[in-house]
């Protein structure tokens, strides 16, 4: 854990922080191919407009993948005991996402010292796109 490497974590500490480049049409097309999710709402502007949206928008699971990457950049994967999220808002094309995780609880479980992280993914305006939590072992 980068910010708490010299001392044990405390409630309120930010453990996860990563900003990603803006989501582009190219990113969405690549994600379609990698994930197998070819829903036209994410790549076909005419389809998106016919459905009442101003443009295509990101796959929710792409946003979750960004949060997962931010988490595993900060925490070794073998220390992650759980990772859960809920989708809060549509992520528009061009959004610049920032993922963060703050300590909300320190506790013991199954003989391990653990911490609970509150996780968020927000766009450049501060709108929460994804919220969740992770449990990690110290």
**5-27 per-position pLDDT tens digit:** 578 899 999 999 999 999 999 99
Per the CB < 8 A criterion, the answer to whether 15 and 96 are in contact is no
Q: How many residues does the chain have?
A: 138
What confidence score (pLDDT) does residue 7 get?
80
Q: Is the pLDDT of residue 126 over 70?
A: yes
pLDDT band at 125 (very low <50, low <70, confident <90, very high): very high
Q: 72: buried, middle or exposed (CB in 10 Å: 19+, 13-18, 0-12)? A: middle
Q: Where are the domains of the chain?
A: 14-137
Handedness of CA 122, 128, 131, 136 (dihedral sign): positive
% of residues, the chain, pLDDT over 90: 93
The pLDDT of residue 58 is above 50: yes
Distance CA 53, CA 79 (A): 40
pLDDT on residue 14: 97
Condensed to tens digits (0 to 9), the pLDDT of residues 63-99 reads 999 999 999 999 999 999 999 999 999 999 999 999 9
Q: What is the pLDDT of residue 8?
A: 85
Report whether 104 contacts 120 (CB < 8 A): no
Q: Which residues pair with 91 in a beta bridge?
A: none
CATH 3.10.129.10 fits 14-137, yes or no: yes
What is the distance between the terminal CA atoms of the chain, rounded to a whole angstrom?
Answer: 9
The predicted structure's pLDDT at residue 5: 56
Q: Please check the confidence at residue 3 and state whether its pLDDT lies above 60.
A: no
């Amino acid at each position: 854990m980068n910010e708490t490497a010299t001392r044990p974590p405390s409630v309120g500490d930010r453990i996860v922080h990563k900003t990603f480049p803006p989501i582009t049409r190219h990113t969405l097309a690549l994600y379609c191919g990698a994930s197998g999710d070819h829903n036209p709402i994410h790549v076909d502007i005419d389809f998106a407009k016919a459905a009442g949206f101003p443009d295509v928008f990101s796959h929710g699971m792409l946003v979750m993948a960004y949060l997962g990457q931010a988490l595993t950049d900060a925490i070794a994967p073998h220390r992650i005991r759980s990772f859960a999220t809920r989708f809060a808002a549509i992520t528009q094309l061009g959004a610049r996402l920032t993922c963060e995780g703050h300590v909300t609880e320190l506790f013991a479980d199954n003989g391990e010292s653990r911490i609970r992280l509150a996780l968020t993914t927000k766009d450049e305006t501060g709108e929460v796109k994804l919220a969740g939590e992770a449990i990690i072992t110290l």
